[in-house]
Structure 1
């Protein structure tokens, strides 16, 4: 049924009819394309295509295999379209893309969003090219000044420091554009060059209010303002799928909507908090991102010294958070054991870790020595310090994983208390854990005990849910009101609560 203008259904009509959208959700170790179906007041997520995302060695750098990722994304979109048809939908109503932060590609001026558009590789944040670069940039703009301008912690992998280490900038043809990973995928889909604000906020180059790039910092890292695409807000339409690509995939020229393209922005949007005021969360996956959702950044020198960062969220919110290594420590340890010939099942390993005695060893999960891949179990074992007079290191995988999880739980306690102190707010009554780590019952229980507050676990697919929900709101199928998306999430998922002492 046409709306009043004859251009299509109204928002109310869309809300009444089932709606299917595709969420392209790229993580640092895996990716997925999910079909999100909004129907009867809830979102149903259906996996369309899952795939690995592996680092590769290219031109002496750890890089992302963009060609492989792009092939998997195209397959996933075609599969999502087919799933929509199976569900009785007319196809995909829109597409949204999110990914990890800080990494980028450079697109040449004559690229047509096809082969050959990319100049060089998409170098990964775990590459060593930024070693010592933060110190060099700080000689031009002090660390204190950088934080006051952007609110972003000076992590060695920040986009700013990657650009300062970049060897392509002086030879780029005029009209080249730097695009962060989700913006780069958006360009491949639509041919339009834009930079979505939540991801731009992580670069260490955007003003803390999210309004514009800071020329002082661009000059310090040697990047010309013309290299950056215009900014776009989450919820705005980026463009439509290029006609030739739409025909090849059989999906139609559907809209591509800018979501909270930093995956943590989408994940926190889907935190199922029932109330108002600061929301405490952990986006738990490869990284554990722990903090508070606030209305304004915390730009004090105390916050900088404590290592907190202020990232832009959907709807003008700010995520005051701390990066902790997270389940990367476990997954990389498992990878070492499997490379050494063992078969490791994560569920069995966590069950064994729950059964071994606790409070025997600790590590510092924030130690930069855990950033790089390779022989993680050996490094954790070497770093583990004994407690209560113990004089030995973890001897079994279960002991080592128990050490990692207990160390994470204690770090969560310290960092959440620090965030509340910096933001001058009381400790919330509950902590929401979203993402893949929300299914780690042992870690959730340890976290509840460490903090002394309830831990609410779920949704696991928070990033995809936030991505899908924002697309649906942009299409008029969800009310543009505070709390509407979180209410929808609560209606769409089952949550698990961990109570201290229970």
Structure 2
């Protein structure tokens, strides 16, 4: 009889985190969410930061619950988070300052300053990464400009999952998939871009040795073991530590005519390739070549997702409406179609104090009728997202010379079935949804590869198809 392997995925998103226990019996994967917690930014002296110590404490709570649940028979732990953000350590290995949130405004206008030293074309040729002000390259340049002393005294840069892994193990690495989000990494040489570091005066010595998904980072530190009730060795495994890398690993893609959409706070829409696409056209369309599990290339577009709905819901509930997502969906379904449209990636939606007001201002400035009720506003958001997805799919087909027939939507956003159906209707594509917990499952699959329980990602995706109910939406 096969002994069930039990691994823990610590999956931290931009608005929430969870510790998910995966149990694998050799054929099927079962999931149990053991711990959930809220996550998000907090203002300190008008700067927007992450509460990194809270995140670490929540991870330890999840591990403690998993150890108890498995009677101390937990086989491994893996951590994934969002991309681009980082912490800096001094020569003693101490965190030097509270890590910034990618939505902080310190990078406003920085992109243009960087281009005076290294052109947009040169940076894209080196990295293949789409241009967003939140990218690590622009955050580091903001450090250099506004507080150069911290880079002068920094010994190590660790991206968010690297930092949390360091807190657990004491080991310092930069994981492959998370490194690729930084716009500092060359996907052709599989190493840091000397050209970028030299031209922008970044200290290359702060970067770490690259570790790949399915490699062991190290055993958990003794003090953490005591805190979590761990007996014996508990290895921490490098997974696709960029959450999208893990989500795509769990997407049950079957052929080259499939695309994926990881749907959550962000929408990441693309296809899986063996080699990066870095040319004049991909630069013009601002597509990105992020790296994935098993050294695949995630050729995708990073676009705004359900952040718009999440922020509207926050404001509506703050103002006393107390709407659930189900309430919002029902109201959207009953609202007038295509009353207004918006560009989800417009700069005014990055981090407004009041998202509903920001949307109304956008409509006013673009000469459109303003939505008044939550249902009208929500419907316009869902429709605008679906239109955006259609446009990105068309560009993806052109850039890869592929005809996309099926869009696999994964992640928490697929619970908004109205969005899934609108996406099928507007894109005229077959949409297959599932799994919801794609990021956690991809994290778990990579750990199982590291433990020798499954051979590769192809086998892992077959396990997903056997373990999770998938749903199909056809154009109406």
**Normalised by the shorter chain, which TM-score bucket?**
over 0.9
Give the match's secondary structure for 1:362.
coil
1:254 maps to which residue?
Answer: 234
Cα distance in 1 between the residues matched to 2:38 and 2:238: 24
Give the match's secondary structure for 1:123.
coil
Contact 1:33 1:48 in 2 (8 A): yes
Counterpart pick for 1:170 among 139, 149, 169: 149
Cα distance in 2 between the residues matched to 1:373 and 1:23: 32
Counterpart pick for 2:440 among 449, 455, 464: 464
Cα distance in 1 between the residues matched to 2:100 and 2:465: 38
1:218 aligns with 2:197: yes
1:6 maps to which residue?
Answer: none
Cα distance in 1 between the residues matched to 2:32 and 2:91: 37
How far did residue 36 of structure 1 move?
A: 0.9
Counterpart pick for 2:469 among 494, 499, 502: 494
Q: 1:27 to 1:202 in 2, by over 3 A?
A: same
Q: 1:218 to 1:260 in 2, by over 3 A?
A: same
How far did residue 219 of structure 1 move?
A: 2.7
Contact 2:352 2:358 in 1 (8 A): no
Cα distance in 1 between the residues matched to 2:45 and 2:157: 19
Give the match's secondary structure for 2:191.
coil
Contact 1:96 1:258 in 2 (8 A): yes
How far did residue 382 of structure 1 move?
A: 2.2
Alignment of 1:206-245 (within 5 A): 206-209=185-188, 211-245=190-224
Q: 1:136 to 1:425 in 2, by over 3 A?
A: same
2:398 maps to which residue?
Answer: 421
2:76 maps to which residue?
Answer: 94
Contact 2:257 2:406 in 1 (8 A): no
Contact 1:197 1:231 in 2 (8 A): yes
How far did residue 287 of structure 1 move?
A: 0.4
Alignment of 1:29-48 (within 5 A): 29-48=15-34
Contact 1:438 1:457 in 2 (8 A): yes
Query: Across the two proteins, how many residue pairs are aligned to each other?
Result: 473
Contact 1:96 1:468 in 2 (8 A): yes
Counterpart pick for 1:157 among 105, 120, 134: 134
Give the match's secondary structure for 1:412.
helix
**TM-score for the superposition, normalised by structure 2:** 0.96
**TM-score for the superposition, normalised by structure 1:** 0.91
Q: 1:498 to 1:373 in 2, by over 3 A?
A: same
Counterpart pick for 1:185 among 157, 164, 167: 164
Counterpart pick for 1:353 among 311, 332, 337: 332
Give the match's secondary structure for 1:209.
coil
1:478 maps to which residue?
Answer: 454
Structure 1: segments with no counterpart, 5+ residues:
1-12, 112-116
Q: 1:301 to 1:108 in 2, by over 3 A?
A: same
Counterpart pick for 2:11 among 25, 29, 39: 25
1:311 aligns with 2:290: yes
Stretches (4+) displaced over 6 A: none
1:450 maps to which residue?
Answer: 426
Q: What are the superposed Cα offsets for residues 466-493 of structure 1, whole Å, 9 maximum, x if unpaired?
A: 000110111011123x511110111111
2:341 maps to which residue?
Answer: 362
How far did residue 223 of structure 1 move?
A: 1.8
Contact 1:210 1:312 in 2 (8 A): no
Cα distance in 2 between the residues matched to 1:200 and 1:268: 17
Q: What are the superposed Cα offsets for residues 108-137 of structure 1, whole Å, 9 maximum, x if unpaired?
A: 2213xxxxx210110010001001111111
Task: Report which stretch shifted further, 407-416 or 331-340.
Answer: 331-340
1:410 maps to which residue?
Answer: 387
How far did residue 60 of structure 1 move?
A: 3.7
